[in-house]
Structure 1
Amino acid sequence: MALGAGREGTARRDLTDLPKAHLHLHFTGSMRHATLVELAARDGVHLPDALVEDWPPQLSAADEKGWFRFQRLYDVARSVLRTEDDVRRLVLEAAEDDVRDGGRWLEIQVDPSGYGARFGGITAFTDLVLDCVRDASERTGLGMAVLIAANRTRHPLDARTLARLAGQYAGRGVVGFGLSNDERRGTTSEFGPAFAIAERAGLLLAPHGGELRGPENIRDVLDHLHADRLGHGIRSAEDPALLERVVESGVALEVCPVSNVALGVYSDLTSVPLPQLMEAGATIALGADDPLLFGSRLEGQYATMRAAHELTDAQLAELARMSFRASRAPSDVVERSLADIDAWLKAEPV
């Protein structure tokens, strides 16, 4: 179906009822704004105006100064997590928010090295996160798993340490290994050995690529890190040959439209090239990235793309189906969710 074809007039099905898998959500970035403000007040942590009166902040990552500002706000937010109960609250609230948005499965991404100093080391923190995930899943009914991510601004040897850590938990709540932070930093090929460790452990490989940098970055990530999914990957639309490679290899794209615009990758939501990716046959999973800093959660990604590109409910349903197909959700979760997506589409629009 061509983009925008067969529109159902003004009637639209409720997107919060559409089952979804959420594959691109960062740990601290999942925090509710109200929780950030409350925890900061409790411990006397000063929050910049961009995280209080001027929230959500005006951001841009067009240059390193802009990215530094974004990272500084993220670091301030992370600093309010002081106790195990704080971590437990963050994970539970992230699960509750996804369920409210129609989420059935969540793969939350965390870099334990950013929290280990306060929580007894990276292994102890990983144990804590996995315990919180199990508890939140039981309490909300949301299926959940963890991706451990390295930071490309740190030494590649640190990434190897985290890949080994992720491998130790493979099959015990950790399903993948990623690489995040500023794509303009570090040399992608130097992280190859870390991804080889994760690959041998049977983990999903999901590094960031193709948001702040263009097609050349995506090629590096595919060639050197053997990505199964691309965190973002949106700029594959700029190179037809690369996009064809992505489609033919089955590499899924974790597209985060609101954050793309907030960081200045695109000028507005209508410029996000989702239609080109869909028409090329790419596997796409919409994600919220960092709701704390971008002000939009999972359902908001679907709603903004529906409005910006006049997507039909059939196209939105296919986006939801692709999110499950690209996930590491158990087969029963996938099958039940796909059936419920079909039921959503068969229901009368309101």
Structure 2
Amino acid sequence: MESVRARDEAAIRDLRRLPKAHLHLHFTGSMRSATLLDLADKYGVHLPEALRSGEPPQLRATDERGWFRFQRLYDIARSCLRTPEDIQRLVREAAEEDVRDGSRWLEIQVDPTSYAPRLGGLIPALEIILDAVQSASRDTGLGIRVLVAANRMKHPLDARTLARLAVRYADRGVIGFGLSNDERRGFARDFDRAFAIAREGGLLAAPHGGELSGPASVRDCLDDLHAGRVGHGVRAAEDPVLLSRLASRGVTCEVCPASNVALGVYEKPEDVPLRALFDAGVPMALGADDPLLFGARLAAQYEIARSAHGFTDAELAELARQSVRGSCAPQDAQQGLLAEIDAWLAA
């Protein structure tokens, strides 16, 4: 009976109107399916059916073959971004989608080396991305910042180069430094110097961990990279001591329920340990990860918390607060957002 009442109460409030911050969104993965089709046609790029259908592809990245397929689809989509105008379109549309889903602050993640060959080099690529972010923010009213992410599959020296570049552009909207791709490859400690450069330059350390690998990868993020946030982190639920550590340190986990299921980390939405992390006091920021490949954007992640895990509106509002507190938004912007969340709950 209590769960029925909770659902009835939840149905009153529109989750798209819940103000929130979006802290885990990858650059190419933020693209609209229709935009990908348009750009592929423009450049004569043959898209596999998994990208042409407009439906999320069937992926299972818990084995290396599945991850390779995911990465191949992502690389094909990225190959359709070739000009500054393409970059501007992607960022503007990603911002529009976020605003539609109630986002007031977006921290988008990008490895500029992936775009450098077509955009004139590493520095021009990052400058084009930052210009697009500034323009989209101005046009949509969404606060947007950039997290530069190194690729775990590349040499750690490449990561150091990126870290120095990220620090150089901290005054242009770069707020953090990350580490993405298959966390089962290599060791976090191989990238410790790159993260030290970023932290010494005032950037947030936000590596991926605890998705395809277990709790040990989250501990490595904390111990070796001194993470202030962890991308995903859900596998920490398998270790109560680690949960307590995350909670006591206030380390926000950027949890992406739809992608966890799409990649085969969990069988169904109900299996994602949202409740375990929440009840342990671990701050969470729900994120969409790669909606181009996983289908679900930001508000849908909150809907999973509501429908699959029975989160009440008060708990959903607290999740939104945690996303704001875990962001790099200025304090005055955070306070304004927290007040908007309270107003949503009071309505």
CA distance in 1 between counterparts of 2:310 and 2:7 reads 10
Tell me the amino acid that sits aligned with residue 297 of structure 2: R
Tell me the amino acid that sits aligned with residue 64 of structure 2: E
Determine the structure 2 residue equivalent to 1:59.
59
CA RMSD of aligned residues (A): 1.3
Determine the structure 2 residue equivalent to 1:148.
148
Determine the structure 1 residue equivalent to 2:49.
49
Determine the structure 2 residue equivalent to 1:240.
240
SS of corresponding position for 1:118 = helix
Give the CA deviation at 1:4.
6.0
Counterpart mapping for 1:100-119 below 5 A: 100-119=100-119
CA pair 29-8 structure 1, distance change in 2 beyond 3 A = closer
Give the CA deviation at 1:42.
1.2
Tell me the amino acid that sits aligned with residue 9 of structure 1: D
CA distance in 2 between counterparts of 1:115 and 1:12 reads 44
**Where in structure 1 do 4 or more consecutive aligned residues deviate above 3 Å?**
3-6
**Residues 6 and 312, structure 1, Cα contact 8 Å, conserved in 2:** no
Determine the structure 1 residue equivalent to 2:315.
315
State, as a whole percentage, how many aligned pairs show the same letter.
64
SS of corresponding position for 1:117 = helix
Unaligned stretches of 5+ residues in structure 1: none
Determine the structure 2 residue equivalent to 1:183.
183
How far does the alpha carbon of each residue in 1:89-114 deviate from its partner, in whole angstroms, 9 at most, with x for none?
00000000000000100000000111
How far does the alpha carbon of each residue in 1:293-330 deviate from its partner, in whole angstroms, 9 at most, with x for none?
00010011001221001110000000000000000011
| TM-score calculated relative to the size of structure 2 | 0.97
CA distance in 2 between counterparts of 1:90 and 1:176 reads 21
**Residues 21 and 106, structure 2, Cα contact 8 Å, conserved in 1:** yes
CA distance in 2 between counterparts of 1:190 and 1:251 reads 22
CA distance in 2 between counterparts of 1:187 and 1:239 reads 20
Counterpart mapping for 1:254-273 below 5 A: 254-273=254-273
**Residues 30 and 292, structure 1, Cα contact 8 Å, conserved in 2:** yes
**Residues 25 and 108, structure 2, Cα contact 8 Å, conserved in 1:** yes
**Residues 24 and 288, structure 1, Cα contact 8 Å, conserved in 2:** yes
Structure that is richer in helix per residue: 2
Return 50-59 or 262-271, whichever deviates more. Answer: 50-59
CA distance in 2 between counterparts of 1:104 and 1:260 reads 24
Tell me the amino acid that sits aligned with residue 183 of structure 1: E
Tell me the amino acid that sits aligned with residue 59 of structure 1: L
SS of corresponding position for 2:123 = helix
Counterpart mapping for 1:126-141 below 5 A: 126-141=126-141
CA distance in 2 between counterparts of 1:43 and 1:118 reads 13
Aligned residues: 345
Give the CA deviation at 1:12.
2.7
Tell me the amino acid that sits aligned with residue 96 of structure 1: E
Unaligned stretches of 5+ residues in structure 2: none
